[in-house]
């Protein structure tokens, strides 16, 4: 009886393991996109570059056929910091803003919606300019890193229990706080003998 019960438990456990789907970690960069009057869609990405590339008109066209010239509103959750990117109807100008920094800048150029593909090309250019800006602007990157340390719950510098800041603080505490330091003076003893 005991062996039969053990066998049933083992088979049930194996079935649970086999039927369980793969576990996926949450992607640190989430982009919510709305094109025209469509319903907003969210996608997760592993890098900022992939997040920006997802707004390419050709990439969006697979889900939104009017993405090359229609209104596009994208909200990027950059590890806890909200970044807004918006293309207006029939334009290649991209409004880029980071509310937590009070930062707003426009990238790209105007386009002629009558010329075939002009808005698509202008939007591609605007996205390239944003990538270049993020990769080459040290002042903006410093502001972003400071904001990440302040606002992000998963920032590797200060936003989680295993962050660099937390580990450094723990190490300092462990180096300076010993059992002798914690003793109370009295009975003719000092904390350091």
The pLDDT tens digits of the residues spanning 58-81 come to: 988 888 888 888 899 999 887 778
Q: Report pLDDT for 130.
A: 93
Residues 6+ apart with CB under 8 A from 103: 97, 140, 143
Average pLDDT, the chain: 75
Question: 48 pLDDT band (50/70/90 cuts)?
Answer: confident
Beta bridge partners of 106: 95
Inform me whether the pLDDT recorded for 126 exceeds 80.
yes
Give the model's pLDDT for residue 8: 44
pTM above threshold 0.95: no
- What average pLDDT does this structure show over 117-127? 92
- Mean pLDDT along residues 13-31: 51
15-19, 60-64, 149-153: segment of lowest average pLDDT: 15-19
């Amino acid at each position: 009886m005991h062996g039969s019960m053990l066998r049933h438990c083992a088979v049930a456990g194996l079935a649970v393991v086999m039927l369980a789907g793969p576990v996926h970690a949450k992607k640190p960069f989430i982009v919510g996109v709305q094109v025209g009057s469509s319903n907003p869609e969210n996608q997760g990405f592993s890098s900022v570059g992939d997040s920006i590339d997802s707004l390419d008109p050709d990439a969006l066209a697979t889900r939104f056929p009017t993405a090359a010239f229609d209104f596009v509103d994208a909200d990027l959750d950059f590890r806890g910091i909200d970044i807004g990117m918006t293309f207006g109807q029939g334009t290649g100008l991209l409004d880029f803003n980071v509310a937590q920094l009070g930062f707003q800048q426009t990238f790209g150029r105007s386009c002629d919606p009558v010329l075939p593909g002009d808005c698509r090309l202008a939007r591609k250019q605007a996205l390239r300019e944003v990538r270049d800006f993020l990769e080459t602007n040290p002042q903006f990157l410093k502001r972003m890193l400071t904001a990440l340390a302040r606002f992000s719950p998963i920032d590797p510098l200060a936003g989680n229990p295993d962050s660099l800041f937390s580990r450094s603080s723990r190490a300092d505490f462990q180096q300076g706080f010993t059992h002798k330091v914690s003793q109370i003076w009295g009975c003719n003893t000092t904390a350091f003998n």
